[in-house]
Amino acid sequence: MTINTRVLVNDFTYHVPATLDEALGFLDQYGEDAGVLAGGTDLIIQMKLGRTSPKFVVDISKLEELKHLEAGEKIRIGAGRRYMDVLPFLQGLGRYNSLAEAIDSIGKLQVLSVATVGGNLGNGSPAADTPPPLITYDARVRVRSAHQERIVPLREFHTGPGATVLAPNEIIIDVEFDAFPDGRASAFRKLTRVASDISKVTCAVALQRDGETCTQCRVALGAVGPTPMRAHTAEAALEGRAIDGALVDECVRLVVEDISPIDDIRCTEMYRREAAGVLFKDAFETAWERATC
């Protein structure tokens, strides 16, 4: 059977809560029968394709409690903020290049105008663009239900393709990370088939530089495993070391060994490994140079 992907093929009840508490009440009542609509760039497509059929759709796009942008000792991005708002906020702060580059890589105005960082995290895609840079920032996700609030390290948030630690009655409130000190910088690189396509491979690097020594490093990659992945072996090899070309080249090899890509419609496992090494080297060298500014 061919599904007409221009229409929603199943009936559902649509709720537009006026407050966060009201939204959480709906989710607590409906549980797994509910779908949360933030920007809709993922949920609506899945509904049109018949891959998900929620009986209730809870639209949280109008909730002001999810639209904060805060900069201080911690950076907080409300889950309901659209990319179009988050991008200039980050660019204005000037230090969080990799997350800004990840958002900017999405490219299309139509998506930037409706999609949210919270939705990108909650969708659970291994190829999502914002998780790798946020993971390198040691970001935390604040989630809430009608009964409790908890904070989850982003590195523990994704559990498999399309799967997260979110319970059916929970909503992402925001994502937060510590402000960068002097000497810390980041970079993001992405490879796609065509502009604005889903990623073949992504790589984000955040590092701390003291002269010619790398005192801290985080490397995270997307679309190279069932969840966004840290390259722990490469990180350990870089931290506390004076940086030169030979060490960076050695870490290219370690990054390639750290990941577990697959063959799929976009590219082969072998291609992903080669591309991951190239993207890491470019992102690391860019972040390293930025850390001198």
Q: How confident is the model at residue 2 (pLDDT cuts 50, 70, 90)?
A: very low
Order of strands, edge to edge, in the sheet holding 13-15?
13-15, 56-59, 34-37
Query: Which residue spans of the chain are classified as CATH 3.30.390.50?
Result: 184-290
pTM of the model: 0.94
Query: Which residue spans of the chain are classified as CATH 3.30.465.10?
Result: 65-178
What confidence score (pLDDT) does residue 6 get? 67
What confidence score (pLDDT) does residue 167 get? 96
- CA-CA distances (angstroms) from residue 16 to 30, 102, 279? 14, 30, 42
Looking at the domain covering 65-178, what would its CATH class be? alpha beta
Query: Which residue spans of the chain are classified as CATH 3.30.43?
Result: 13-56
Would you tell me how many other CB atoms lie within 10 Å of the CB of residue 273?
17
Task: Give CATH for domain 13-56.
Answer: 3.30.43
DSSP track, 125-162: -TT-SSHHHHHHTT-EEEEE-SS-EEEEEGGGTEEETT
- The C-alpha atoms of residue 162 and residue 123 are separated, in whole angstroms, by 6
Q: Which of 52-56, 65-69, 153-157, 264-268 has the lowest mean pLDDT?
A: 264-268
Q: How far apart are the first and last CA of the chain?
A: 58
Mean of the per-residue pLDDT values of the chain: 93
Q: How many helices (H) and strands (E) does the chain have?
A: 10, 15
> What is the mean pLDDT of the segment spanning 185-210?
91
What phi and psi, each to the nearest 5 degrees, are found at residue 92? -70, -35
Topology of the domain comprising 184-290: Enolase-like; domain 1 (3.30.390)
Q: Identify the helix (H) or strand (E) that includes residue 121.
A: helix 117-122
- The C-alpha atoms of residue 280 and residue 204 are separated, in whole angstroms, by 7
